[in-house]
Structure 1
Amino acid sequence: ICGASASGKTTVAAKIIESLNIPWVTIVSMDSFYKVLNEKQHHLATRNEYNFDHPDAFDIELLISVLQRLKEGKKVEVPIYNYVTHSRENRTKTMYGANVIIFEGILAFYNMDVVKLLDMKVFVDTDADIRLARRLRRDIVQRGRDLEGVLKQYMTHVKPAYQSYIAPSMAHADIIVPRGGENKVAISLIVQHVHKQLQLRGFKVREKLAIAHIGQPVPDSLFVLKDTPQVQGLHTFIRNKDTPRDEFIFYSKRLMRLVIEFALSLLPYSEHAVDTPQGFSYTGRKCNVEKICGVSILRAGETMEQAVCDVCKDIRIGKILIQTNQQTDEPELYYLRLPKDIKDYRVILMDATVATGAAAIMAIRVLLDHDVPEENISLVSLLMAEIGVHSIAYAFPKVSGRHSIG
Structure 2
Amino acid sequence: MNIPSFVIGIAGGTGAGKTTVARRLAEAVGEPVTRIPLDNYYEDLSHLEYEERESVNYDHPSAFEWELLREHLETLLLGQSIEMPQYDFEAHNRKDERVPVEPTDVIVLEGIFSLYDEEILDMLDLRIYVLTDADVRILRRIDRDVVDRGRDLEEVIDQYLETVKPMHEQFVEPTKKEADVIIPEGANRSALALLIEKVESELDDDREDPGALGRTRDDGSVVDSSATR
Q: Specify which structure has the bigger relative contact order, considering alpha-carbon pairs within 8 angstroms and separated by 6 or more residues.
A: 2
Answer yes or no: is 1:129 the counterpart of 2:135.
Answer: yes
> Which residue identity does 1:112 align to in structure 2?
E
Q: Which residue of 2 aligns with 1:110?
A: 116
Counterpart-to-counterpart distance in 1, 2:115 and 2:109: 10
Which amino acid in 2 is paired with 1:6?
G
Secondary structure of the 2:209 match is: helix
* Residues 54 and 42 of structure 1, relative CA distance in 2, 3 Å threshold: farther
Q: How does 1:137-152 map to 2 (within 5 A)?
A: 137-152=143-158
Please tell me the residue identity of whatever aligns with 2:43: K
**Among 159, 164, 168, the residue aligned to 2:174:** 168
Residue 73 of structure 1 and its aligned partner are, at CA, apart by 1.4
After superposition, the C-alpha distances for 1:343-393 in whole angstroms (9 at most, x for unaligned) are xxxxxxxxxxxxxxxxxxxxxxxxxxxxxxxxxxxxxxxxxxxxxxxxxxx
- Residues 41 and 50 of structure 1 are in contact (CA less than 8 Å); yes or no, is this contact kept in structure 2? no
User: Pairwise mapping of residues 10-159 of structure 1 onto structure 2 (< 5 A)?
Assistant: 10-22=19-31, 24-37=32-45, 39-40=47-48, 42-46=50-54, 49-159=55-165
Q: Which amino acid aligns with 2:139?
A: A
What's the offset of the Cα at 1:87? 1.6
| Distance of 2:63 and 2:210 partners within structure 1 | 40
- Pairing partner for 2:200 from 195, 199, 202: 195
Q: CA deviation at 1:113?
A: 0.8
Distance 1:128 1:190 in 2: 23
* Deviation string, structure 1 residues 72-131 (Cα, Å, up to 9, x no partner): 211001000111111221211111110111110101111111111110000000010000
Report matched runs for 1:1-400 at 5 Å.
1-22=10-31, 24-37=32-45, 39-40=47-48, 42-46=50-54, 49-181=55-187, 183-205=188-210
How much identity, in percent, do the aligned residues show? 36
Paired residue type of 1:161? M
- 2:153, 2:186 → 1: CA distance? 25
Answer whether contact 2:57 2:63 (CA < 8 A) is retained.
Answer: yes
C-alpha deviation, 1:203, in angstroms: 2.3
Q: Aligned-pair RMSD on alpha carbons?
A: 1.4
What is the CA-CA distance between 1:39 and the residue it aligns to? 4.5
Q: Which ranges in structure 2 are unaligned for 5 or more consecutive residues?
A: 1-9, 212-229
Number of positions where the alignment pairs a residue of Structure 1 with one of Structure 2? 202
> Do the aligned residues in 2 keep the contact of 1:35 with 1:59 (CA within 8 Å)?
yes
Do the aligned partners of 2:53 and 2:93 also contact (CA within 8 Å) in 1?
A: no
CA distance in 2, matches of 1:40, 1:10: 29
| Structure 1: 4+ residue segments shifted above 4 A | 38-41
Q: Distance in 2 between matches of 1:86 and 1:176?
A: 31
More displaced, 59-68 or 11-20?
11-20
* Partners of 2:45 and 2:94 within 8 A in 1: no
Contact 1:19 1:188 in 2 (8 A): no
TM-score by length of 1: 0.48
TM-score normalised per structure 2: 0.85
**Cα distance in structure 1, aligned partners of 2:152 and 2:60:** 21
Cα separation, 1, equivalents of 2:50 and 2:125: 36
User: Displacement of 1:40 after TM fit?
Assistant: 4.4
